[in-house]
A and B are shown apart, each in its own frame.
Chain A
Amino acid sequence: MTVEIGTTDTFPKLLLHHARTRGDHPAIREKEYGIWQAWTWAEVREEVEWLAAGLARAGLARGAHIAVVGANRPRLYWTLIAAQALGAIPVPFYEDAVAQEMAYVFQNAEIAFAVVEDQEQADKLLEMLPECPKLAHIWYDDPRGLRNYTNPELAAYEALRDSGRAAARAEPGFFEARAARGRGEDVAIMMYTSGTTGHPKGVVLSHDNLIASSRAYAELERLRDDEEVLAYLPMAWIGQNLFSYAQWMAVGFRINCIEAAETVLTDMREIGPTYYFAPPRVLEALLTQVTIRMEDAAAPKRFLFRYFMELARRVGGDLLDGRPVGPGDRLLYALGNLLVYAPLRNALGMSRVRVAYTAGEAIGPDLFVFYRSLGINLKQLYGSTETSVMVCVQHDGAVKPDTVGPPMRGVEVRVTDAGEILLRGPGLFREYYKNEAATREAKDAEGWFHTGDAGYFDATGHLKIIDRAKDVGHLADGTLFAPKYLENKLKFFPHVKEAVAFGDGRPHATAMVNIDMQAVGDWAERRSIPYSGYADLAAKPQVLELVRGCVERVNADLARDPKLAGSQIHRFVVLHKELDADDGELTRTRKVRRRFIAEKYASIVQALDAGAQRCSVEAQVRFEDGRTGSVRAELAIAAAKTFEPAAAKAAA
């Protein structure tokens, strides 16, 4: 049923509310031992109560920070609420963060308590103990492999819960009393921004921030308490926290924790989420898989797929938005739905999706249109950790591939003369933790938050984001150069995994390209091109030609846009290694760190600018076990055809 938008002001109070009003509804599921195990709201309340009592007994005080490290596990969610009930502040971490990155945050937030998923995470925390003397308690969810550890800091989650259960029995009403003490303006959570430069900054968000944002979405989409949501993204990401925690609590729907990272597609098909949130890279990976499988399909299937996808591209979006479409096309689309779209939606696990959102970074227009043309109501929104993801969102029936929609209710947005987007609203964070200078820089005296994004409002009042304000530049001749825009266009090709464009202050735009191992590997196998590994595959002349084709199609596309025609890619190189967060080349959310890459691979950038034939490069790599080594390679620089703006039509 559609839920009323209530006025309860903190997450623990919301939990109590749900336990009272829908106590026997499943609140959270986790797939374990091949079965979806469920906990009702009443059961969650009980677990959280015990946990909160246990944490209080262990000494977790109001205002203290507690680390939550691991993948989506019910117990880690319970830790969030339990800590909030005590007025403590949970700090979630990316599960793949390395110890030295985490140590800074532990010191910065003076963290003494941590609840971790398993041995892998416990090992990291134990490793940084000498640097973080305050860290005194580490509780683990999964005991596997930890049997022989004798560290006094370590204890099992069960021990904490059992101690809490005894305490809670001895003092009934403890949980309600503590929850009642909370206020909406209290700090609910602290999330560290991945930080493309310098140390991460702790973004302090209150219950009011997150609940205001959640309710705005609930109202806009008329969310119901029987929505199914898949919890599969990193808990330390604001998008995951807002859509799978804050909205879960605000609305009272169900979240479903996946079994393992590798099973997400199967799990998604089993759950059939009705409300879905995915960053563009996930949607991209899904499309790449579909494309690969279609290329392996028999000829008649390939023909059907191509024919109906072409039709979908033409009329699918219009049908979804309720714009007029001719009866012939309608009939054909219905047939396509039967033969292609519905089975494809099912294969993607999206048969029941009522509303899907994408955010986190700009999505390639072609990728976006692909999902919409299948009849999936995918929409874009714009927000960040600092804004509780509450800035702009597209409304049903008014969706455009290249905008993020109008501002949400209660949010004021304006664009400075320099093109930077500023905003004010109820989701706006309180401060950066212990960093007044950064807070003042981001939030001016009148309360406007400087997003650092460049954009403008189009004629219909939709906000259009071009790039990070600091990344938008100009070629030497003054032509506008928006690197992200080029990179996204390249990345839409299934064979391209990552791209980095350079051009600010340079004579021409150039690009580094990372091939997608799976897609290009399959492509090479079908053509009987032997290769021994990533570097070898990337160096094949045939692969260079394949990528050249992609680059030239991007150029042809760019030539059609008078504003961007000058920034066509003149030269490119196929990198010998995958860009990796462990090497500092990507952020933990997998955004390219362009400046860092430009410095690290200065020799390649120089060769690209100079128009050399080849260049050699030596780069440090960090292996998964933490060792480092260096990789040397000789790379070929390739030139790509560019198009005159007028000649573009003929070429395309």
Chain B
Amino acid sequence: MNLRELEPGEVRGRVGDVILALEGVSLSFGGVKALTDVSFDVREHEIRAIIGPNGAGKSSLLNVINGVYRPQQGRVTFRGEVRAAMEPHHAAAMGIARTFQSLALFKGMTVLDNILAGRNLMMRSNVFLQALRVGPALREEIAHRRRVEEIIDFLEIQHVRKTVVGRLPYGLQKRVDLGRALAAEPRVLLLDEPMAGMNIEEKQDMSRFVLDVNDEFGTTVVLIEHDMGVVMDLSDRVVVLDYGRKIADGTPDEVRSSQAVIDAYLGVKH
């Protein structure tokens, strides 16, 4: 069965206004140009894929969006605000969460605690009250735990709730990483190769979770992925990068038939 059975009209109806826009972004490390004059936008509630060959600048782009790198030129507009300097924790506070290509989990902690850690920014009571688990801190913890349990239920990982993350197979760790990002209740979710190293079944599961996140919570998703089948099935629109430049941007069908993309992936005769 096709993963996405919505009619095009429905998709358009679901997708909202531009939530994130990059204009003329250039990023270089010394003499190495990672990104050159890249512009594109992300609309609310859509699934936006960034693809490209190795070293095309995909991860750098994600790092620009969530404030790890500061572009030398260009500007990033998020929810109508033009952003200058931005630290990752600002990005997190503004509703951008991400998962990592190489997982960013606390290996010695349980699944539950890892996901709970994702709610860190929303905890209001101070550390002493938390340590004593009294009054407001206890009530708060119960509320957070409830939300975390909903995520565990959503991602179908109840059976490993109290298992230490380091002991889980890779596919499940990826799911926990997604859970940790979801715990922050982000407006925009950045997924850096969510299906790398997975088998077909795990990819199918993960694809369903990405679609469900998008459907259920209305979360905007920006994802980097190498598996073309997955990208074409999941995304509303695709950006293609090659050597730090944007070479195509459009619906999966448009991108698939673009000559520049075919050349970049298959090589050109010189």
> A: which residues have CB within 8 A of B?
32-35, 123, 144-145, 147-148, 259-260, 262-263, 266, 624-625
Contacts and interface: CB of A to CB of B under 8 A. Distances in A.
Given A33-B153, A34-B149, A148-B6, A266 B159 contact: yes
Nearest to A33: B149
B159 A145 contact: no
A145 B212 contact: yes
Interface string B109-145: 0000000000000000000000000000000000001
B254 interface: no
* Majority SS at the chain A contact face: loop
B159 to A, nearest CB: 4
B150 interface: yes
Contacts of A148: 6, 10, 215
B153 A147 contact: no
Contact of B159 (A33, A144, A260): A260
A147 B217 CA distance: 11
Given A148-B10, A260-B156, A34 B161 contact: yes
Interface string B214-225: 011000000000
Nearest to B152: A34
Nearest to B151: A33
Interface of B: 1, 6, 10, 145-146, 149-150, 152-154, 156, 158-159, 161, 201, 204, 208, 212, 215-216
Given A259-B158, A263-B159, A33 B10 contact: no
* Majority SS at the chain B contact face: helix
A113 B6 CA distance: 26
A263 B149 CA distance: 15
Contacts, number: 37
Contacts of B208: 145
B148 to A, nearest CB: 9
A33 B156 contact: no
B158 A144 contact: no
A651 to B, nearest CB: 43
A262 B158 contact: yes
Given A34-B161, A147-B215, A263-B159, 8 more contacts: A34-B152, A123-B1, A145-B215, A148-B10, A266-B159, A624-B201, A625-B1, A625-B204
Contacts of A259: 158
A286 to B, nearest CB: 16
B178 to A, nearest CB: 16
B75 to A, nearest CB: 35
B205 to A, nearest CB: 11
A148 B159 CA distance: 29
Nearest to A143: B216
A144 B212 contact: yes
B159 A262 contact: yes
Contacts of B215: 145, 147-148
Given A33-B146, A34-B149, A34-B161, A147 B216 contact: yes
16 contacts: A32-B153, A33-B149, A33-B152, A34-B152, A34-B161, A123-B1, A144-B216, A145-B208, A145-B212, A147-B215, A147-B216, A148-B6, A148-B10, A148-B215, A263-B158, A266-B159
Contacts of B153: 32-33
Contacts of A266: 159
Contacts of A33: 146, 149-150, 152-153
Contacts of A32: 153
B162 to A, nearest CB: 8
Nearest to B153: A33
Nearest to A259: B158
Contacts of A263: 158-159
Nearest to B149: A33
Q: Closest 7 A-B residue pairs measured CB to CB?
A: A262-B159, A33-B149, A34-B149, A263-B159, A260-B158, A259-B158, A263-B158
